Amino acid sequence: MDKNAKVIAIASGKGGVGKTTVTASLAQALAERGNTVLAIDGDLDFRNLDLIIGLDGSFAYDLGDVALGNCVLNDAIYKSAFADNLYFMAGTVEGEAEKRVDSSVIGRLLDHLRPYYDYIVVDTAAGMGKSFELYTKNADTVIIVTTLYKPAIRDGEKIAAEIAKDGIQTYMIVNSLDERLIESKNAPNVDEIIDSVCVKLIGLLPCESRLIRWQNGGLSPMDRRCEIKTQIDDIAARIEGENRPLKKFWK
């Protein structure tokens, strides 16, 4: 029987807050729960999810090639080594292809992919540019990622307000949470962040000093024993309708 993928766009106002990390980890967690998952790198200019999701970058086709007819859609979809039923597509579009890809093209692309996957998780580019426009407007759910950094929170507020206009289901992840910063009043607490961004919280992720080493080495935090894995597994369960109370990972 055909599937009907739920499209989840991972977005943020500010760059560098952890969208790519969340996309790769959440897609892997959902795949490990038995779903067939496609992770799309929705950045139209710079591809980087491939490096973080277990592909070595040696692949031939991206969305631009599909748009130009250089290949069929299936040729641009690659299997990730991180989970059995986890797939990846690069959304880069260059030159002539860029003019051809608009919101209705992405809408049709997603409609075409939906019957083959349970989830399509899209790593969008920061801000409210074309990547945001193309993917968040075509998503069933948007997850906004922020950190404790005030500019990231304010930018998150701005994109949350923009998404609210379309009435799309929206959640928030607070990443790189450092409780010491909150306790010493050097950062807003989680309730204050929820009050500012006005979006339902779906999870909190701790600062993990080993993360960059793992990612640079082509490893996934989901295959390590770490708190990011525990928290992402809970977020995946919540997305699938399970009631998992927030676990405090700080003392």
Ligand X SMILES: Nc1ncnc2c1ncn2[C@@H]1O[C@H](COP(=O)(O)OP(=O)(O)O)[C@@H](O)[C@H]1O
Residues found near ligand X in the complex (CB under 6 A): 12, 15-21, 175-176, 205, 207-208, 211-212, 215
Q: How far is the CB of 126 from Mg ion (least distance, A)?
A: 7
- Residue 79: φ, ψ to 5°: -85, 135
What type of residue sits at position 175? N
Return the number of the residue (62 or 208) whose C-beta is nearest ligand X: 208
Q: How far is the CB of 42 from Mg ion (least distance, A)?
A: 10
Residue 112, number of CB atoms within 10 A of its CB: 10
Q: Is residue 131 at the binding interface for Mg ion, with CB under 5 A as the rule?
A: no
What type of residue sits at position 141? T
Measured CA to CA, the distance from residue 100 to residue 67 in angstroms comes to 7
Site string (7-46) toward Mg ion, x via CB under 5 A: ------------xx--------------------------
Q: How far is the CB of 78 from Mg ion (least distance, A)?
A: 18
Return the number of the residue (168 or 207) whose C-beta is nearest ligand X: 207
- Residue 39: φ, ψ to 5°: -100, 125
Q: How far is the CB of 36 from ligand X (least distance, A)?
A: 23
Kind of pairing between the strands at 86-90 and 77-79: antiparallel
- Residue 106: φ, ψ to 5°: -65, -40
Contacting positions for Mg ion (CB under 5 A): 19-20
